Structures are given as C-alpha cells and as structure tokens.
Chains A and B, each alone.
Chain A
Amino acid sequence: MATTVTRIEKLVGKRLRRKEDPRLITGTATYVEDIKRPGMQHAVIVRSPHGAANIKGIDTTKAAALPGVSAIFTGKDITHVGSVVCGADLPGLRKPVHHILAQDRVYFVGHPVAVVVASDRYIAADAADLVEVDYDVTQAVTDPEKALAPGAPAVHPEWPDNTAFLYHQTGGDIDKAFADADVIIKQRITSQRLVPNAMETRGVVAEWLQADRALTLFTSTQIPHLARTILAGQLGIDENRFRLIAPEVGGGFGSKLNVYAEEALMGFITMKINKPVKWIESRRENFQVTIQGRGHVDYFELAAKRDGTMLGLRLKLIQDLGAYHQLLTPAIPTLSVLMMPGLYNFRNIDADVVGVFTNCVPTDAYRGAGRPEATHGIERMVDLLAAELNMDPAAIRFKNFVQPDQFPFPTATGLNYDSGDYGATLQKAMDMIGYDDLRKQQAAARAAGRLMGIGISTYGELCAFGPSPATPAGGWESATVRIEPTGKVTVHTGTSPHGQGQETSFAQIAADELGVPMDDIIVLHGDTAIIPYGIGTFGSRNTAVGGPALYYALQDIKEKVKKFGKMLLDAEEVTFENGVCRDPKTGKEITIQTIAGAAYRAMKLPPDTDPGLVATKFWEPSNFAFPFGAHIIVSEVDRDTGEIAIKRYVAVDDIGNQLNPLLVDGQLHGGAAQGLGQALWEQAVYDDNGQLITGEFMDYCMPRARMMPWIESSHTVTPSPVNPLGVKGVGEAGTIGSTPAMVNSVIDALSTLGVRHIDMPLTNEKIWNLVNGAKA
C-alpha cells in the first residue's frame, strides 16, 4: 500500500516562530514563584547591611515570638551543611569557606546571616526585621586596586594581601616581539561590574518527603543536573533521591549558571521542618547577592611595526572577584586570556592575572564571561594603534587578520581556531554601511564642527563549551529521542533552555530527520527525574553541543526505524525519507507512525532488535567553535548635552549554519542590547564601605527598547567543521561584538578633541565634561 509523502520541505534554516511563546505571552508558564505545595512555608533571609563586620551576637527572641513564625536558623544551625562550591581550580587558588549562613563575620553587604520561616511571606519579612544582629563593623575595601595596595583592609584575615590567585600564561616570544617593535601602545582599560538582571529573580521551592528520604527542589537555574550533584553533596543526600526541576526560567545570562547558598539553605530547611518551603529573591536582593559580571582593570601593551603589523600583546589583568568564590568565579578571567589574540595573526602573548578579594558580591559568568572584557580591550588597542600610526582602523584590521588559508589556526594561547574568513565579514559590513562614503561624510561633519564617529569591532568568540578536558565538569551533552507508539515524538535534552528557543529549533531538527510534523514533537528539559544527565546551558553551547547530541540520537533511531520498516515491508533494503520507509524494488511504503505502533506492539521483531523506539546519545565535541563577526556603529555626540546618538548599527556575524534565523536575530539583538548597556549606561557602583549604591533600577540604568538603535543585521556562513550541523553558537556573540564598536565610535567622534580613550560607561556627564574640558 502506497502512502502519500506529505512534506519534503526542510524546516531547518526556516524562520519559524517559537513553540514556547504561546505559554509565555499568555502568562500561563510556570515559574518557581507559581509553584505552591500543601503546607508550604515561606523563607525570608536576614542579610548583612555591612560590607565587613564581626558578628557579636544574634537575638531572635522577638522574631520567634511573632505569630506565624515556624522556625529561625542562624549560622550555628548549618555547620553540617556543605559550604558553597567553587568548581574552578587554579594552581595555588585560595578558596574561602563560604557557609550558607554567616558564621562569626560577614564580608559583603547582603551576606546571609539568618533565615526566618513563617506561614506567609509577609510574616516572614516582618519577623526578619525583628532579628537583632549585633555587629562590630570593620573596614571594608571595594576597589580591587586599592585592595592590592599594602595596608589595605583584609577581606579575609588569613590572606592580608587580598590575593586569591596569580595566573600567568605566555605564548610565543613576547620579549622578542617587544624588542622588534617600532611602536608600543599602552593603555589601562576597565570593564566595569555589571548586574545581570535576569527578568525573573532567583527562587527556590524545596520539599522533603521524609518517608522516602526524597527531596524535590524547584530552582531557577541554567544547570539542573550539575546543581543537583552539588546540592546533594552539600546536603548529604543521595543524588537519585533528589529530583531537581528547573521550571520556566526567566533569563539567566550566566547569573543562574551557579549554585547558590539559598538553594542548599532551602533544602536544609525543608528537611529540618518537614514541610515544603519557598524563597523568592526580591529585586533588591538580586542586585546585591546574585553574582555580577565583568569587574576588570586591564593594563594592555601592544607591540607593533610602523606598517601596522601587530607583533605581540601583554596584559596585566586585575580581576575583582568579590568576597568569595561562586561556582566559576576564578575561572572567568582565564577565558579572557584565551581570547587575547582576537582575530589577529600575532603569536606572542603574555598575561599576568591577579584575582583580588573585595568586600563585594562575587563576580562570575555573565553573558560572554571573560570574552567581552578581552575583546573590548583588544579592539580598543587596535584602534589606539591605528590612531598612533594614523592608519584607518579597517585597514589595520585587514592587515592583521588570520587569513582563510591559515585554518586550522593554532593561537598563542593554545586554542585552535577552526574556520573563518574574517576579512569577508568586515568587508561585508563596510559595504553595507558604505564605509568609504561615511568617512567622507565624517570629514564634512567635522569641518562643520560636528562630532561624528565611526567605530569598528571585529570580534572572535570561543563558544560551544566545550571539549570535556577544557571544562570543570564535562563539556558533552545528552539527548534522548522517544518515538511514542502513535508516532508522536518526545525529545529530551540535557541542556536547559530558558529563552534560547531550543524547544523550537530542536523540534526542527527532529522534524527534518524523522519526517514528522513540528507539532508532533515536544522537547523536554530541566527535570532530573525525567531527563538523562546533562551539563546545561551556558557558553553558547545548547545548539552547538546539545544539537549534535540530538542529531546523532536521531541517526540511531532512524536505523532502528529502518530495521522495522525492512521487516514490515519484507524488503531487502529500504530507504527512509520524509517519515516513510520505502522498498525501492517494489515501491511499497510504510509510515513512521505505523512502524512505531509495530515496534511497541512487538508481534514480530527484526533480528537482533529490541522492542520500542528510544535512543539516547551522549556527544562529546572535539573542539570549541569560533564564531566571529564585524560590527560597525555610526554615532554623533551632542556638544551641548553630551548625549550620544547611534545613527547606524551594522552587524555581520558568522555563526556557521543557522537552524532558525528568527532565533538568531533574537539572540543577536538581545546580546547587542546588553553590550550597548555596558558601553553606555550600566555600572554597579560600591561605596568605600561596601554599600552597593546602584541597587535598584532608579540608580542602575538598564537598556530599554527606546534606547536601542535599529540593527542592520547580516551574515556570512562558514559552517563549523566540529559538528555535523555546522553550527557555532550565537548566545553571546552580540554582547561581545557590540561594546567595543560603540566605544570605538564615540572615541572616534571625540578624537578631534584629542580624546584617546574613555572608560565605560560613556555617560552623558562623562562625555559632556570631556567635550567642554577640551574646549577650555
């Protein structure tokens, strides 16, 4: 019996709307805050208002007397719970023991001191106000350079130099590069602390079932499996009796690539009180106690020949770590070092990193994690060199790019760039924006006294994390494909999408491979009781590592489908296309749906074949992937107000093959918004006592829709040779490319006033002062 082939058109590569959006835009998605359990109690955390203090005593009497309060815990109650885990390791790394509630001292504003549990959240909050903590305040230090100075207050008394680690990496012959140089450019460049500000704050619901010795914990995380392993260790419970669920997660940007004190604390509380407990982080807490990003002071030195050839780069990197290590805190600046060569063909680098303790919340991975800092520094240095040599910033980049015939290109930092044509992306961006004509317009504008700037950034990125040996906890990913008896398909991914859109793009891959409609496929993730172990979502890895895992699982299941098809058609060989097995000799066909029914009914089985249609694949990448691109921004500075107007923004990104260009646009636009946020507006500011004085949206300037330019986006496509999909990863590219393009543009605008460098954010006040100072 012949069946009609229903669909030949491939879905991969199409601009499809997201399957996950209906529940998100109708407000029916379930976040941690939406979860209610019978008898659930509510926790509010008492936090240190001081940047540094010794705790002389805690009096919970008044708080405990408030009706509705069920329990109060302080540091002495949790000494048996494991401290917060740092997964990164470096030689000689000093790791402070960070208990989930403070012991005898606090070392940053927001440090958890006690937790109040009550029948409702408002009672818990009122009771938390009644907890009396007697502090002996000591001197804090919040600036990493001041923390390194002799005599600075010690964040941890046992390490008076405030130094957590020193890390040195060198490649090539840096001394020769500097000896051969005609020009040496030096610049101090900062990457200010940023608050990730995911739309959903963190939150935890924990429920202990004493009879089963089983814990269920809902938490807003990017890494459900890793979080379960770590928390099970902290709480001393069996991992298989611990179900961790990341329900809908409202953004993370790295801030939820972590395992926080509050997650273990809620596990501890529910096990103690035998009732479910919920904690929802307030926005003010989110500012103060969820990790922040960046926090670099970088001293760069670039050696070059007078013709513009770059020879080598030296970096002294001062990383503000904050008061203790969260999951990956000390590892982030080492990623900056890896990216130091950028897209350029020089092979001599030398980096000295010092990780510094300060009385601030820890820094950790924030969209880009180390690579935006490096890229900003390199792209500023290239522009400074161009200015010094009076060369065009585009020309100096073309001169130094790694050329297409040099791939695979081993860098001085030990990476192996897989593929690319860097000149082509820059040329395409220049063609789109009309670069030569723009420079003429700029000359005319300058003659008329206007401050117009053109800024270029050509970025490279290290993503698709990554080969397991290069990661702290495995870099592979898992996927399971279950074809149900009716032929409907359930996909499990070990990644934990929270906005990236893999419920859609992974369904596209499965639809193409299996020849079933998109609507017949669902993609599940984020529940350790259902999903085989996975690594999670970070480092632009979902599609580039989770995607291939799915692809190979689909190949396995297709083989099994064909075995059943061959048996059912009584054929010697069959083809499988568009969901149909066909015997080329007889022309007889059978659909995947019919095959699925037969595989589960199992009246008859093919030789050496088990019933059912399920395949699981754990896939290990052989290398990172290396997207790249060119962003060009045209800006104009208002002399009277210091305001910066973005006139045009052209972005050409090469992220390899695109599964769904709509998702790609979304990632690039969001990334660019965050990158422009750093360039122009955002900054976490601490005063000398450790108070975060930009602790709410009135004081911390977030990018808004009306502040965003129109982004003219295009692409070149160099498929990654590392994976069968040819994809590279796009989650962080926009953040990395946008920041230096913006800053270079404004500095170009002000260059006629003698401005050489400005540290971010480029606030109106800073710009106005520069313009008007220069006038005087």
Chain B
Amino acid sequence: MEETTRPAIPDTLASVSTSAGSAQLAPTANDTPAGLTSAGSAQLAPTANDPLSVTAALELAKGLLENISLSIIGEVSELSDKPGYRAVYFTLSDQASALPCVIWRNVYDRQGLELRQGMLVEVTGRFTLYAAKGRMNFDVRIIKPVGEGDLRVKVAALARKLEAEGLMAASRKRPIPRMPERVGLVTSPRGKAVHDVLRTLRRRWPLAEILLAGVAVEGDNAPEQMIMGLSHVQANSPEVILLVRGGGSYEDLMPFNDERLARAVAASPIPIVTGIGHEPDTSIVDMVSDFRASTPTAAAEQVSPDRTELMAWLLDCAKRIDSDLISYFDRLSERLSRQATHPVFTDNEHMLRSRLLSLEHSQQRLLLAGDNLTTPFAAAISRLAAQLQALSPIQVLARGYALATGADGRLIRRVSNTEPGANLTVRLVDGSLVTEVRAVIPESMQTAFNYPEQTIPADADINPDGPTIHS
C-alpha cells in the first residue's frame, strides 16, 4: 500500500529503496549507525577503512533517509505548478533554510488546496534521494495550510489599514490622460520591463517625451529608491507616471507592499499607473495607484493612444472635412434657390400691395386726426360767443336803456347830432318808436348827472324810467 502510492521517481531510486525497505530507523541521529547494521547486507556496512563507491554511499544515505516519515511547517517560497507536468515542485523555507519539495500530481489533486507563494503550510511525507544527482527532495504525501504566511499576514494588515484611511477609494482614482506630452517612468534600468515600456511607447505614441528614473525595484532599499525616483520625475511635471517592474516571486515584489512607497504613490500630485509583475497577486502599491495594469507593457498601453488608430482617424477626418464643406455648399445653394422662389421675386405687385395697404392705413389715420383737429377750437368759439352775447347792447336795452338813431340810421350820441323836427328811431328792448325831436336842450354833464329826471320834459316821448342813453 505504502509502496504503490509512493511516487517512484527514477528507477534506480525505486530499486534501492525496496532493497533497503526493511530498515526501521528512528529519526534521530544517534540511532542511525546502530540500526543500520541490523538492516543492511554485509557489503553496505560502513567502516572507516573500507571506502564505498558513490552509488553505495548514496544507497546507504537513501536507506537512512527514506524511511523517516515526518511533518514539517514552512512557507512556500517558490512554486512551479505547470499543467502537463506529473508533479508540482516548490520550496519550503523558514528564515535560515530551504527544502525542495515535490508532490505528485495525483496526490496534489486530492488535497483540495491551491498552493501559492508565501503560503504557510504543514507537509507530511519523507525525504527521498535522487542518486543520479545526489539531490535530496522531500516527497509530500499530505499538505495542509497553516494560517496565512507571515509576510502575507503583514501585507494584508497594511492593506486593511490603508483602505480604512480611504487611500484605495475609487473616488481618489484620477483619469489617465489619453495623449500625454510627457510620461514619467520609474523602474529598474535593467531587465525586460523598462524595454517593454519604451518599445510600446515608441510604437504607439512617440510624441511623448519620456522622463526615466532608473532605480532599484528589488531589495531593502528599493522602496526608498522608488520614492526618490517618483519625486525626481514629479519635479519635471509629466502628465502621468508609470511605476513598473517585471515578474518575480512574492518576496521579490515585497517593495511594492511597502507602506512608505504606498503613501508616496497615493500622495502623488500626478496620476500613477502601475504595472507590477506578471502574477495574479496585487500589491498594495497597485491598490493605491490611479490605475493598475497587469504588466509593464499594459501600463504603457494605458497611457498611450495607438498611432495607427490615430492615423486612421485623421484619414477619416480628411474625408469628413471635404464632404462637410461640399454638403455645406449644397445647403447654401439649396437655401438660395428656396429664396429665389419667394413672392418678393416672383410677384411684381407683392411689394406694391403691401405699401398700398400701409398708405391707406396712413390716410385713415390722417383723416381721423383732421376731424379731431377743430374740436378744441369749436369749444373756444362757443365760449367766445357766450361772452359776446353777454356784452351785446341788446342786453343793455333789457335793463331799460334805449338807442336813438337818426334818419340816416346813425346812432345819435349827442344832442348836437340832431335838431328839432328831426325824426329819430328809438329802439327799446321789445321794439322801436318813431319819434320827432321837439326841442334840444344841451346840458352840462354834471347837471345831467345830478338831475337826470329833470332834464327830460315830462311829455318827452321817451322812456320815463331811464335817462337818455349815454354813449
């Protein structure tokens, strides 16, 4: 049972392993020499004076190692899980040591666990020795997670802290300029990433000037260097900054989980696009940047329009601008022919008619105004007529005065204007008397005034109630 599930790596190992199979060794160093004698054949017994062949020595070691079944806790630091391979390889490590491990595909598939770098796991299995290379592996039969890896725990805690501060909020993410004139680039001056970016920008958007800060992106001082790189680039006011590096292990990418760098990225006055590594893990710097691209090339594409597309657009514009002008002229001439059919041009009397109408209207208004013109004067005239009537001598007659006129019809104003025997017509208010002057009696004004009644003879044929009319 044990034999069948155990992977038979190379044939040589398998055969040696069966030959040494009966050995019962406790996993303590002290016991090994003692146990060995009971287990092995005589030829394999180690003695100081009796040198062994390499094969024999490794067979001996194999016998010692391969029956030790044990459990180990460590962090998965390197991982190769390629489809089609019969086994998954990884390294289990702590601060001081590293152990190459192998787990056969069929065993791995039964574990229900997806191994990731940085994961803390407990593995159960045994050591195996590959004699052809003298290499030791740990052959894993059972693997289970032990919480999260130390590094991952720390990174996750920092991520939660920065998220709580709002540094990852979608509202903080700024738009990425589409046609930047200047692009900052902070990355390692060595390796693939810098060239991936330069090549992509050269192909797509050569109009941009690139400001490159080549800094360390791996190792203890990488965060500090990248912060310095960012500030150098920022001082030259690009429109957008690329912060990129190529793929690497989780540990390699640790500088991108640095709190100081994350804060510098979040505080950048210029939008930052990250393209870090090729693995699905997202770093904290990715989370606080304005845009996270999956790779350096993708980051470069994010900040650059495609020159080919721009060329196509310009060609399209060239066609549009010509057809626009042509259709503009078409519209103009259409409007012109529409205007040409206006009654103004087609009906000779059109203009005249409207003017006649307006003339008639004016005439009406003028007539009306003329009618109204005399009204105030008529009123003044009747007022004057009333006044005139009030002043009429007829009214004076009504008060008892009389008018005397001679035969010639002239008014007799003075006694000297007549003589005895003359005929006078005396007009009263209700008619006239025809009289004859019998005597003329001149009189001074004063006397006449004082004694009016005595100036007229008692038989005078004039009105006895009033004096002679004075003129």
Does A associate with B in a complex?
A: no
Chain B contacts to A: CB under 8 angstroms: none
